[in-house]
């Protein structure tokens, strides 16, 4: 019998029940045995029309004597039996069944491609697959270039630059989501080589913060980074970045007095220190940051300007789930209830925008409306809500020109941030 891995997804009707039924049917296919299933992962629809419901995904290991095409045919029949009517790619569906792997076989026919061609782009496939086939994920991860030693990274980057090529650099703390991957894609578009760093930087976390439990998955991250266009992942160790007796820090003043700087003392000192070190090691031409961390991007731009660092900073738009939640590695901490409550972040920002377009200019009134909306959510505890100047980050009394509306809110123990620019 051949070992196969299947991907199952559902975003219409009773999604759990659809998956249960599909698994039952798969287990009862002739000459086929269901061996193992992963946990269920809820994710945003991928390339589906706007407003499509979220998916439940899982992977299954089966053993079968069916040929790849017979298995595909059986799965198609099952999809249609379970109510899939719309055959168009990416349409909403009670059940979607994909063959991810069929033994070691490689197939590239118009009807069937194995291994599944988009497997490596999708964390909602890679993560459940890792649960039931860790060695498969390990071997996929080995295809990506990962450098852990600082000197080796420096040499690699210097060689790229001396060959006349440009480097686009995406610094991250890993647990990559489509927001990070949008930066990787942009870097690869703009530059010859794209480098991605993955380093959970201990010195930007406060003593009571989530450094230890911050989610980490180098294998899945390196597969995702490579499939988005990353040429190399830099994965330094904390003991090498901050050796014994380490004592040099970069501190940007003023802009760090407000917003996250006020509620997370020392945070930006940790960020600018590590980013300056990474810039020194890699010497990128362009570095990419997301607008979700608006203050971080502004502080880094200021550091680059003040310290005459020879690179450009590019800030890319916030990537959101289809229901408005800004993507963050920390979203994995949220319970279903907290995630649903957290939708109030983008809703309250939109509300603030509407109030401003409706003619209200007093920051106090706009903030009060936002806080009112947020406080109605049981799991929400506001850290700050602010309307600020987009350059200095000083609080504004009136919204007369371009302004930043930013907030940080705890949902249970998870602190999320979001923002928009108005005007």
The count of chain residues that interact with ligand PAF, using the rule CB under 6 A, is 10
Q: Is the peptide bond before 95 cis (omega within 30 degrees of 0)?
A: no
Residues 275-304 that bind ligand PAF (CB under 6 A): 275, 293, 296
| Residue number, 99 or 198, with CB nearest to ligand PAF | 198
- The CB-of-211 to ligand PAF minimum distance in angstroms stands at 11
* Contact in structure between 418 and 293 (CB atoms under 8 Å): no
- The CB-of-101 to ligand PAF minimum distance in angstroms stands at 32
Residues 318-377 that bind ligand PAF (CB under 6 A): none
Element containing residue 289 per DSSP (H, E): strand 286-290
Stretch that binds ligand PAF, among 104-112, 165-173, 223-231, 403-411 (CB under 6 A): 165-173
Q: Is 149 exposed, middle or buried (0-12, 13-18, 19+ CB in 10 A)?
A: middle
- The CB-of-170 to ligand PAF minimum distance in angstroms stands at 9
Distance from C-alpha of 381 to C-alpha of 370, rounded to nearest angstrom:
13
Task: Tell me: does residue 204 bind ligand PAF (CB under 6 A).
Answer: yes
Look at residues 214, 305, 201, 302 and name the one whose alpha carbon lies nearest to residue 246: 201
- The CB-of-198 to ligand PAF minimum distance in angstroms stands at 9
Catalytic residue among 25, 177, 180, 267: 180
| Residue number, 95 or 271, with CB nearest to ligand PAF | 271
Burial 201-212 (b: 16+ CB within 10 A, else e): bebbbeeeeebe
Distance from C-alpha of 56 to C-alpha of 257, rounded to nearest angstrom:
42
Task: Tell me: does residue 173 bind ligand PAF (CB under 6 A).
Answer: yes
Mask 88-107, x = binds ligand PAF (CB under 6 A)?
--------------------
| Residue number, 296 or 379, with CB nearest to ligand PAF | 296
DSSP, res 42: E
Task: Tell me: does residue 217 bind ligand PAF (CB under 6 A).
Answer: no
CA distances from residue 89 to 45, 47, 113, 323 in whole angstroms, order as listed:
12, 9, 15, 21
Mask 250-279, x = binds ligand PAF (CB under 6 A)?
---------------------x--xx----
Please confirm, yes or no, whether 116 is among the known catalytic residues.
no
Task: Tell me: does residue 168 bind ligand PAF (CB under 6 A).
Answer: no
Stretch that binds ligand PAF, among 170-178, 240-248, 308-316, 358-366 (CB under 6 A): 170-178
Q: What is the dihedral of CA 140, 145, 149, 153, to 10 degrees?
A: -160
Q: Where are the beta strands (DSSP E) in 65-147?
A: 96-102, 107-108, 113-114, 146-147
Strand 380-389 to 414-422 pairing? unpaired
The residues assigned a catalytic role are 180
Residues near ligand PAF (CB under 6 A): 171-173, 201, 204, 271, 274-275, 293, 296
């Amino acid at each position: 019998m051949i070992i196969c891995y299947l991907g199952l997804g559902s975003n219409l009707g009773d999604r759990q029940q659809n998956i249960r039924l599909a698994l039952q049917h798969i287990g009862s296919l002739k000459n086929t045995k269901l061996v193992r299933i992963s946990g269920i992962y809820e994710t945003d629809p991928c390339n589906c029309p706007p407003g499509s419901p979220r998916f439940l995904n899982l992977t299954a290991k089966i053993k079968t004597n069916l040929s790849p095409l017979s298995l595909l045919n059986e799965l198609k029949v099952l999809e249609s039996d379970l109510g899939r009517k719309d055959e168009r790619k990416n349409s909403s569906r009670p059940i979607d069944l994909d063959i991810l792997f069929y033994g070691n076989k490689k197939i590239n026919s118009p009807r069937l491609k194995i291994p599944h061609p988009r497997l490596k782009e999708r964390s909602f496939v890679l993560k459940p697959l890792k649960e039931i086939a860790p060695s498969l994920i390990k071997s996929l991860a080995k295809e990506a270039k990962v450098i852990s030693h600082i000197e080796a990274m420096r040499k690699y980057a210097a060689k790229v630059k001396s060959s006349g090529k440009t480097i686009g650099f995406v610094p991250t703390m890993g647990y990559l989501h489509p927001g990070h991957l949008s930066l990787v894609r942009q870097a690869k578009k703009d530059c010859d080589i794209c480098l991605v760093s993955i380093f959970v930087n201990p010195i930007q976390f406060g003593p009571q913060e989530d450094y230890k439990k911050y989610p980490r998955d180098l294998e899945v991250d390196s597969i995702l980074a490579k499939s988005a266009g990353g040429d190399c992942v830099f994965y330094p160790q904390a003991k090498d970045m901050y050796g014994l007796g380490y004592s040099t820090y970069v501190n940007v003043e003023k802009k760090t007095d407000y917003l996250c700087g006020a509620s997370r003392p020392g945070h930006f000192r940790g960020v600018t220190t590590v980013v300056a070190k990474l810039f020194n090691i890699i010497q990128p031409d362009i570095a990419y940051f997301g607008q979700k961390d608006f203050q971080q991007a502004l502080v880094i731009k200021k550091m680059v300007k003040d310290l005459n660092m020879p690179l450009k900073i590019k800030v890319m738009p916030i990537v959101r789930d289809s229901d408005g939640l800004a993507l963050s590695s920390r979203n994995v901490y949220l319970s279903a209830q907290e995630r649903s409550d957290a939708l109030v972040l983008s809703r309250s920002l939109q509300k603030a925008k509407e109030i401003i377009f409706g003619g209200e200019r007093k920051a106090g009134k706009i903030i009060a409306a936002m806080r009112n909306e947020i406080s109605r959510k049981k799991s929400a505890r506001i850290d700050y809500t602010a309307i600020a100047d987009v350059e200095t980050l000083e609080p504004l009394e009136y919204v007369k020109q371009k302004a930043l509306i930013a907030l940080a809110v705890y949902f249970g123990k998870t602190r999320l941030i979001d923002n928009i620019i108005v005007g």
